[in-house]
Homo-oligomer: A and B are copies of this chain.
Amino acid sequence: MCEANAYLVEAEQGETLFMESVDTIEPFENGLKLTDIFGRQKFIKASIANVSLLHHRIMLNTPEKG
């Protein structure tokens, strides 16, 4: 099974798990729509920072700067 977990990386909080078992990531409005392998969807105003598939990790970051 090939899927990955998406983590949101923020300056203060560091890394937090946003969604597990992500299947698809598509652009949506000002951010991304993530769909997991069960068909559940989440939206987030963020972009893909980097991807490491063998480690099942997708890192997201928000465009807002403090």
Contact = CB atoms under 8 A, between A and B. Distances in A.
Tell me how many chains of this kind the complex includes: 2
A18 B56 CA distance: 21
Interface residues of A, number: 20
Interface of A is mostly: strand
Contacts of A23: 52-54
B2 A26 contact: no
A1 B49 CA distance: 22
Interface in A1-27: 1-4, 22-27
B50 A25 contact: yes
Interface of A: 1-4, 22-27, 37, 48-54, 56, 58
